[in-house]
Structure 1
Amino acid sequence: MTLRPARSDIEVFEESRPALLGLAYRILGSRADAEDAVQDTFLKWEQARKDEEPIDTPASWLMTVCTRRCIDLLRSAHKARVDYLGTWLPEPIATKAESTSEDHVALASSLTTAFLLLLERLTPKERAAYLLHEIFDISYPEIAKTLNMQEAACRKLVSRARTTVDRPEVRHTVPRERQEQLLGAFEGAIVRGDTGALSALLADDIDLHADGGGKVPTILQVLRGKEAVLAFIIKVVRPAWISNRWVPVDINGARGVLLENEGKIVAAMSFSYDESGQLADIFVMRNPDKLSRLGAEAIE
C-alpha cells in the first residue's frame, strides 16, 4: 500500500484560504483589511505549528482565529467610517461567474454592495455570527467557541441580525440577461446620450451612491429619485465618462462595469435591483485606494 505524504502546514492553510478571505471580506467590507486578517491568521498558524500546538481540526481553528481578528479590525475601523468624507461604500471586488448553481448564486448574493451595506448596521459580533451561521453554515456550538460566548447568546445574535439583514429584496437576484440589458442601456446613455432604455429600467425611488473618499470629486450625499438620477447621469456623469473605456465585468456577485482611462481604472459601478427587476441602487466607486486592488484574485 502506498502512503500519501502528509500535507505541509502551508498546503493546509492554502486549502482554507479562499473561505477565510471570503469570510473576512464579508465581515470587513474591505479587500485590504480582509487580506491583512488572513495574513495575520497565517502568522498565528505558523507559530502554533512551530510550538507544536495540537490542532485536531485545522479548518475550524483557522476560521476561529480569522473571525476574531476580523472583529478586532472592524471595531477599530468603525470610527474611520463614521468620520468618512462623503458616502462610505464597501471596496469593490472581482467575483467568479462561471457557476450558475443555486449554491453559487446564493453565496454570490451575500457579496453584493447592498447586502454589505446592511451588514454595517450590525454590531461586530452580530455580523460575524450571522455570516458564520447563515452564509458559511457553521453550527451554533462552533460559533459559540469562536466568539467565546454561550450558545444561547449566539442564537440571539443571529436572530437580531436576521431582523435587519434578511430582506428578500437585498438577497434578490435577477437573471443575467436582465443585468446585461441594464449595462447596455447605461452604456447607451453615456455614449449616445440616449436615456430612454435606461429610464425604463430605473425604479422611481432609485438611489445613486458615490464614494470618492475625499480624494476625487464626487457627490457627497446619496442622490434619490429617478428624475434626479437621470439628470445627474446626463449632465455630470456623461461628460466626465464619455471618453473612457467601458469594461463589463463581474463585481460583488453580479454584472457591473469598470471605466478605464489610459489603462487606469477610474471608476467601478455595481447595482442592486428590486423584486420586480427594476434598478434600485447604483453604486459608483471613485476612491482610487479602493479601486487599486480590483485586479486581485476573485473572491468566492
Structure 2
Amino acid sequence: MEQNQGIGALTMSANEKANHFEQSRTRLLGLSYRILGSVADAEDAVQDTYLKWARQDPNKIDNSEAWLTRVCTRHCLDIMRSSHKSRVDYIGTWLPEPIQTSTNCEFSDNTELACSLTTAFLLMLERLTPKERAAYLLREIFDTPYEQIAETLKLQEANCRKLVSRAKLNIDKDKVRNTTPLTAQKQFLNAFQSAVTDGNTEPLMHLLSDDVRLDADGGGKVATIKKSLNGKAAVMEFLGRNLHQYWANHDWQSLDINGSRGIVISLENVTTAIVSFSFDSRQRVTGIYIMRNPEKMNLLSKAPIH
C-alpha cells in the first residue's frame, strides 16, 4: 500500500478534492493537448482523470500530482490508440487544432513550455511513437522524474531514458524549437498580409526559407489544397495568386496562436481560416499552416492553454 505522506495524507472534503484538482487542471490540459493535438480530446482526457480522482481516497495516494499525471497520460495514450484509424482515413493534410495562447514565447516565464506549443513542434511529435511522445513531454517539457515516467508507461527507467533520447535526436535534428523575436514575427505577418491582399510579394520573398512548406487542413469539409506545397516558388505562386483571390477582402486579426503570432482570417464575423507559422534559427519562415477545418477553428471560444 502507498505510504501516507504529503498532501495525500490530508483528509479532504469533496470540495477540497475538487479545488485541488482545479489547481492541476491547466497543467493536465497542457500535457494532454501536446500529446493529442486536439483540444476536445485533451478535455476528454482531463475530465476522465477528474472522474477517477473524485472516486479516490486521498489518504491512499502519496503524491497526488504524480497520480494525476499518470492517470491523465495513460488516458491520452488510450485515446491515441482508438483514434489511429480516423487519422489514417483523414481527408487531406492533418494539422493539430490551433489554440489561442496567452503570451508570446519570447516573453513567457518558461520559454521551453511555451515554444512546445508551436504547430511545427506538435507535428514533429506526430512522427514519434506514442510512448516516445509521452516520455519526451513528461521529461523535457514537464520535468517529470524518470521514476514517475517509468511507472506511468509501465516500463523500466532505462527504457524510458532510451525513449527520451530517441525523441530528442529526432526533434533536435529537425530544429523545431526556435524562439523568434516578436519584431521579426510582426515583420513577416505584415509582409504576408501585403502579399495576399495587395499582391505585393517582393518583401515576403526574402523572409521565406528556400525549402518553405505550406500545409492546409480542410478535413474534407471545405475547399483547400490536399497536398503540401514545397519550395519558395510554389508557395509564393499560391499566396500571390490563389489566396489573393480568396482573402483580399477579408478581415485580418493578429493573435497569439500556438506560442507565436498568427492570423485569424474572417468575413462578416465568420472565421474563414487560422494561419500559424514556424521559423528557423535565421528567422526565416519554414512552415505556413492554414487551418480551414470548421471543426478545429473554435480557439476564440476556448480558454488559453499555457
The question of a shared fold, defined as TM-score above 0.5 by the shorter chain, is answered with: yes
Indicate how the Cα distance of structure 1 residues 99 and 290 shifts in structure 2: closer, same or farther if over 3 A, else same: closer
Matches of 2:185 and 2:106 in 1, distance apart?
14
**Equivalent residue in structure 2 for 1:186, among 192, 204, 209:** 192
Contact 1:169 1:273 in 2 (8 A): no
Alignment of 1:45-56 (within 5 A): 45-49=53-57, 54-56=60-62
What's 1:122 paired with? 128
Is 1:167 the equivalent of 2:173? Answer: yes
User: Residues 95 and 291 of structure 2 are in contact (CA less than 8 Å); yes or no, is this contact kept in structure 1?
Assistant: yes
- In the alignment, the residues of structure 1 paired with residue 31 and residue 122 of structure 2 have an alpha-carbon distance, to the nearest angstrom, of 12
- 2:239 maps to 233
Counterpart for residue 36 of structure 1? 44
Structure 1 CA distance, aligned partners of 2:56 and 2:103? 36
CA distance in 1, matches of 2:280, 2:105: 23
Unaligned runs of 5+ in 1: none
C-alpha contact 1:29 1:91 (8 A) present in aligned 2: yes
State the Cα distance separating 1:21 from its structure 2 match: 0.3
Per-residue CA deviation, residues 42-101 of structure 1 (Å, 9 max, x unaligned), is: 11111114xx66222211111110000001001112221122111000010111117745
Q: Deviations over 1:238-280 (max 9, x none)?
A: 1111121100000010000001111121100000112211111
Secondary structure of the structure 1 residue equivalent to 2:60: coil
Which of 168, 172, 182 lines up with 1:176 in the alignment?
A: 182
CA 157–61 in structure 1, closer or farther in 2 if over 3 Å, else same: same
* Residue of structure 2 aligned with 1:143, choices 143, 149, 167: 149
Is this contact kept in 2: 1:12–1:58, CA < 8 A? no
Tell me if the contact between 1:130 and 1:161 (Cα under 8 Å) persists in the aligned partners.
Answer: yes
- Provide the aligned C-alpha RMSD in A: 1.7
1:67 and 2:101 correspond: no
User: Following the alignment from structure 2 to structure 1, what is the Cα–Cα distance between the partners of residues 233 and 252?
Assistant: 24
Q: 1:221 — aligned with what?
A: 227
Matches of 1:31 and 1:282, distance apart in 2: 21
Q: Look up the SS of the partner of 2:102 in the other structure.
A: coil
* Equivalent in 276, 291, 300 of residue 285 of structure 1: 291
Note the C-alpha offset of 1:103.
4.7
**C-alpha separation between the residues in 2 aligned to 1:231 and 1:166?**
31
The answer to whether the Cα contact below 8 Å between 2:150 and 2:157 also exists between their aligned partners in 1 is: yes
**Residues 166/103 of structure 1: CA separation in 2 closer, same or farther (3 Å cut):** farther
State the partner residue of 1:202.
Answer: 208
Whether the 8 Å CA contact 2:217–2:293 is kept in 1: the answer is yes
Is the CA contact (8 Å cut-off) linking 2:100 and 2:299 kept in structure 1?
A: no
Aligned length: 294
TM-score (norm 1): 0.94
Q: Is the CA contact (8 Å cut-off) linking 1:189 and 1:195 kept in structure 2? A: yes
CA contact (8 A) 1:130 1:157 kept: yes
What SS is found at the alignment partner of 2:221?
Answer: coil
Q: Specify the code of the residue in structure 2 equivalent to 1:39.
A: Q
| 1:42-121 mapped onto 2 (5 Å cutoff) | 42-49=50-57, 54-97=60-103, 100=106, 103-121=109-127
Partners in 2 of 1:233 and 1:102 — Cα distance? 31
In structure 1, give the amino acid aligned to 2:29. L
* TM-score normalized by the length of structure 2: 0.92
Of residues 101-110 and 148-157 in structure 1, the stretch that sits farther from structure 2 once superposed is 101-110
Structure 1 stretch 6-15 or stretch 139-148: which is displaced more? 6-15
Deviation at 1:225, TM superposition (A): 1.2
Matched, 1:19 2:27: yes
Q: Once structures 1 and 2 are overlaid, which stretch shifts more, 235-244 or 8-17? A: 235-244
Q: Percent identity between the aligned chains?
A: 53
Distance in 2 separating the partners of 1:282 and 1:168:
16
Counterparts of 1:120 and 1:274, CA distance in 2: 19
One-letter amino acid of the structure 2 residue matched with residue 217 of structure 1? A
The one-letter code matched in structure 2 to 1:256 is G
Matched residue type, 2:177: R
